[in-house]
Chain A
Amino acid sequence: LGTVEKTPSAAVRQTTSVTEQSVRRRVLVVDDSVMTRTLERTILESAGYTVLVAGDGVDALQLLDESDVDAVVSDVEMPRMGGLELTAALRQDERWRHLPIVLVTSLDAPEHVERGAAAGADAYIVKGRFDQSELLQTVGRLL
């Protein structure tokens, strides 16, 4: 949103093949960290997804209103509106009741995972165990 972020390097593009089914799929990445957004965006784009980015829940809701999105990958702790509030808001809206939502967060205590599930998230990825294949497998499974 108004910020210039790095696109994937040629090296990254070469290492992954674009899969047919994900070509037109659009994933919204929500994180207040530019580094995390760039990293997740690079991974998802290298697998053929179209990626939109937002810096917090408020920006994410606005983007969702304006564009078609097939899945959301969101951080939990963010300024203004966090991932749990975002998830709960989306689940209350008919348009996004079944939109796949993946929470990616460093909050790994069981109660946090439960809170994510209670809010209506479909999957929970812990940052300390984060890797490329887990993100792609999770998003791929939900789409």
Chain B
Amino acid sequence: MDLTEFLGEFQLEAGEKLDAIASQLLCLERDTTNPQPVREMFLAAHTIKGGAAMMRLTEVESLAHALEDLLSKFRDQQRTLDPATADLLFQAIDRLRGLIANASAQSVGSEPDAALVSFASRLRAGVCAPAIEAESGVRRALVVDSSATVRALYTLQLEDAGYAAETCEDGRLALSRATTERFDLLVAGLQNETLGGFELCAALRANPATRDLRVVLTSADAGPRLSHKAIECGAQSLVRKGSLRDAALTNAVQVLA
């Protein structure tokens, strides 16, 4: 029997467990001394880890394991929840949700990439800002787009331009990552789930921690009106989405560098 037959079942249950973790995290934020939400979050993370291990979804397993380890510190009262750690936990939930939703027979046995390994170790240690990455001198870019093709395309172009590029499909998650990690550049499409490019840019400008982050917005139908709006909300530029050979993004990024 092929265990991947149970993938759908795993996704359904893990999704419910993530919902439970998110709602318990909100409870814990309201009362950080209550041990009950921590116990429930820990068990839910443990269940996701065990299921992922059985399914050989190594990426999900490693992230759920790191989450479980951090939660065990709350359970054992070595830590209490602060806003930055709550943000980190929400990021972990969002990342897990993405990995679980996209899990398929192809994800079975696939090892976590460097970005996921680095996030998992940061999560396990409960480190909210990646100090080591900030000191390494490598310029980091975050690509936000709901399309996997666009994310892959821009990652290539940014890497060519000398950036270490990370990707994110959701606007709200991008805002959270930009606030808690250090990026030198954010490239965002206008139409993203939960938070569009204009709103994301405005939110970054409103926060002292991200006020100076350079932002390039991308759109399939760039024109004077949209460019004007992009500048208005604080973006450095708006480029038209084009083909792999299209140098619009590379040019925009080089102007900034």
The chain A residues found within 8 Å of chain B, CB to CB, are: 6, 9, 12, 15-16, 32-36, 38-39, 42-43, 46, 75, 77-79, 105-106, 126-128, 130-132
Contacts and interface: CB of A to CB of B under 8 A. Distances in A.
A78 B43 CA distance: 7
20 contacts: A6-B9, A32-B43, A33-B47, A33-B51, A34-B9, A34-B13, A35-B9, A35-B12, A35-B51, A36-B50, A36-B51, A38-B6, A38-B9, A42-B1, A43-B1, A105-B50, A127-B50, A127-B53, A127-B54, A130-B53
A22 B13 CA distance: 30
Q: Pick the 6 closest A-B CB pairs, nearest first.
A: A128-B53, A106-B50, A127-B53, A35-B9, A35-B13, A33-B47
Contacts of A126: 53
A16 B3 CA distance: 14
B50 A33 contact: yes
Contact of B54 (A34, A36, A46): A36
B6 A35 contact: yes
A41 to B, nearest CB: 11
Interface of B: 1, 3, 5-6, 9-10, 12-13, 43, 46-47, 49-51, 53-54, 56, 61
A12 B1 contact: yes
A140 B46 CA distance: 28
Contacts of B10: 35
Contacts of A130: 53-54
Given A38-B9, A106-B46, A131 B3 contact: yes
A39 B54 contact: yes
Contacts of B51: 33, 35-36
A36 B49 CA distance: 12
Contact of B61 (A9, A46, A77, A128): A128
A77 B54 contact: no
Contacts of B61: 128
Q: Is the interface of B mostly helix, strand, loop or mixed?
A: helix
B49 A33 contact: no
Given A34-B13, A36-B54, A132-B1, 20 more contacts: A15-B1, A32-B43, A33-B47, A33-B51, A34-B9, A35-B6, A35-B10, A35-B12, A35-B51, A39-B54, A42-B1, A46-B1, A77-B43, A78-B43, A105-B50, A127-B50, A127-B53, A127-B54, A128-B54, A128-B61
Contact of B13 (A33, A42, A46, A128): A33
B111 to A, nearest CB: 13
A101 B90 CA distance: 38
Contact of A79 (B3, B43, B49, B54): B43
A77 B46 contact: yes
B194 to A, nearest CB: 28
Contacts of B47: 32-33
Given A32-B43, A105-B50, A9 B5 contact: yes
A18 B3 CA distance: 20
Given A34-B13, A127-B54, A128-B61, A39 B43 contact: no
A106 B56 CA distance: 12
Contacts of A9: 5
- Which one of B46, B51, B54 has the highest number of Cβ atoms from chain A below 10 Å of its Cβ? B54
Nearest to A128: B53
B53 A39 contact: no
Contacts of B6: 35, 38-39, 42
A42 B6 CA distance: 10
Nearest to B46: A77
